[in-house]
Amino acid sequence: MANTSYPDDPTDILRDVLQLERVDADEDSSLFKGFTPTQTRGQVFGGQVMAQSLVAASHSVEPDRLLHSMHCYFIRPGDASVPLNIKVDHHRDGRSFSVRHVEVTQHNKVILSLTCSFQLEADGVAHQEPMPEGIPMPDDLPPISSLVGMIDDPAAQDLAYNRPFDIRYAYEPIFLRPGSEKVNRNIVWMKTFTPVEVSRNVAGAALAYVSDYTLLESILRNHGVSWIEPKKSIASLDHAMWFHRPFNLDEWLLFVQESPSAQSARGLGMGRIYTITGDLVATVAQEGMIRLPQFDQ
């Protein structure tokens, strides 16, 4: 049974994350504070810091300039007990593009550095990689709460009831055991539980948030590793996204993830996000540190 301290609507967690407190602003920079929702662990989810950085940056551009790319480095773990200090430097506003650099600090140290770009919409050439065929539909797949919600453990309860997105696995999940087949691919459907009324730029920030949950699983699945592997150490190092087309957060999105390479205790995950009708809305890449006990002897 779900912990009664969890919200009735888990998407409220996302709504809280996307609300920032403006501290100061001038022609060259903007300052905001971001807050971490109540949680059982002491570190801030990396997707949250990315999302709040993108929200802050979006507040510094005109609404018709749309987020099209972001690149960031995770430098230090975030402390969930104190606010995040978010500084946006207004690097450039050109005729078509605006570039922003964001630094997030806590305890006077940088925990994330992010650069992003916004563009006025324009006509031009258009094509996309098609969505894979034969993927099970989301309504035919179980929610995470039905897979681990009965486990009396804080991590399992958080996974089941304390995430703002409904995520459903096209392959068997690797929460408790390795996948039955070693493949460098992971596929999930995802959407918010309830509608979130935000601008297109803030929706992009929310998509960055959810993209950080599963991207490294393509690496783990390929090497027969589960999330409960003892003595493992996994951390996101960097994250990049390119935003192609509009989407709705409360409609199913297909996240197709693959790992082209792993080496030197690092692994690369790459992903494409599609609407249920096959529009490619974003491309994602993330490198993570993957330290497993059999290689640390």
Judged by DSSP in three states, 211 sits in helix
Global confidence as pTM: 0.95
CA distance 214 to 38: 22
Residues 6+ apart with CB under 8 A from 282: 204, 207, 211, 241, 242, 243, 244, 247, 272, 273
Token pair belonging to 66: 């749309």
Pairing of strands 109-120, 233-243: unpaired
The set of catalytic residues is 212, 236, 286
C-beta separation of 180 from 250 below 8 A? no
What is the predicted pLDDT for the residue at 296?
60
What is the predicted pLDDT for the residue at 138?
97
In the predicted model, what is the mean pLDDT of residues 87-110?
Answer: 97
**Residue pLDDT, tens place only, 21-74:** 999 988 899 999 999 987 777 889 999 999 999 999 999 999 999 999 999 999
Whether the pLDDT of residue 133 is over 50: the answer is yes
CA distance 272 to 211: 10
What is the predicted pLDDT for the residue at 75?
97
Backbone angles phi, psi at 28, to 5 degrees: -100, -20
Whether the pLDDT of residue 2 is over 50: the answer is no
Token pair belonging to 293: 């006990």
CA distance 5 to 144: 18
3-state helix vs strand vs coil in the chain, percent to 5 = 20, 40, 40
What is the predicted pLDDT for the residue at 154?
87
Token pair belonging to 16: 């809280």
Backbone angles phi, psi at 3, to 5 degrees: -65, 130
For residue 296, CA distances in Å to 22, 38, 63, 265 come to: 45, 34, 49, 10
Whether the pLDDT of residue 139 is over 50: the answer is yes
C-beta separation of 56 from 75 below 8 A? no
pLDDT level of residue 1 (50, 70, 90 thresholds) = very low
**Residue pLDDT, tens place only, 103-131:** 999 999 999 999 999 999 999 999 999 99
What is the helix (H) or strand (E) element at residue 84, kind and residue range?
Answer: strand 84-93
Amino acid in the structure at residue 262: A
